Amino acid sequence: RKEVEQDPGPFNVPEGATVAFNCTYSNSASQSFFWYRQDCRKEPKLLMSVYSSGNEDGRFTAQLNRASQYISLLIRDSKLSDSATYLCVVNTNGQNFVFGPGTRLSVLP
Amino acid sequence: DAGITQSPRHKVTETGTPVTLRCHQTENHRYMYWYRQDPGHGLRLIHYSYGVKDTDKGEVSDGYSVSRSKTEDFLLTLESATSSQTSVYFCAISEQTNTGELFFGEGSRLTVL
């Protein structure tokens, strides 16, 4: 079993739609959690951290369920510019970041 | 954007030849990482460094070695390249691991024929 797993996608949604991505991790000792965004043929960039109480940044909401070892990302009112691959990232030992395989999102006009 | 550059950005080589990829940072960050990215696998850690001359293996370290003789440079060497090492290689830097903010270079696309 992979250490971090994500919905395989791709997700094709119309502009204005709400879309949710799911991620699960296998190591219960994982300490911190993040969502990264990667545009086609570009480097990944941090989108947001994920806190135990859940957190929101504009149209983006991240949730963490430590008991179920589950992380989610919700995007409301999708824009064309949201089209990208979304990577779930888990930090277990303080130094090593483990990336999920990513979920590709295409927002259609 | 963080000052991090990778070289070369593109390279085509033949099986059995040595290859060195260079990552250079101007941020004075402590941690440096080498990842490879392949379809279906996402980013996988090859090696990382937590200081000058301090390195450790990642998930897919076989066939790779690294060196960090200066804070700003982290070299990845393929001693004898194989076709399975055809990939996109990303270098990343971080100052504090608990913030989760890795800054990535633009990637180096390596093709081994």
The alpha-carbon gap from B97 to the nearest alpha carbon of chain A, in Å, equals 6
Q: What would the two tokens of residue B39 be?
A: 């379809």
**Residue entry with tokens 């996109």:** B88
Q: How far is A20 from B34, CA to CA, in rounded Å?
A: 30
Distances, alpha carbon B53 to alpha carbons A6, A10, B38, B50, B77, in Å: 35, 41, 28, 8, 15
Cβ–Cβ under 8 Å, residues B15 and B102? no
Rg of chain B (C-alpha set):
13
* Minimum-distance CB partner of A43 among B45, B50, B90: B90
Contacts of A100 in chain B (CB under 8 A): 42
Which pLDDT score, from 0 to 100, does residue B100 have? 67
* Minimum-distance CB partner of B40 among A42, A96, A101: A101
* Minimum-distance CB partner of B100 among A32, A42, A102: A32
Which pLDDT score, from 0 to 100, does residue B2 have? 67
Cα distance between the two ends of chain B: 34
Contact B102/A46, CB-based, under 8 Å?
yes
HSE value, Cβ hemisphere, 13 Å, CA-based, for B51: 1
Which pLDDT score, from 0 to 100, does residue A31 have? 85
Distances, alpha carbon B43 to alpha carbons A54, A80, B37, in Å: 25, 25, 4
Residue type, A51: Y
**Cβ–Cβ pairs < 8 A, chains A and B:** 54
Which pLDDT score, from 0 to 100, does residue B101 have? 80
Residue ranges, chain A, pLDDT below 50 = none
Residue ranges, chain B, pLDDT below 50 = none
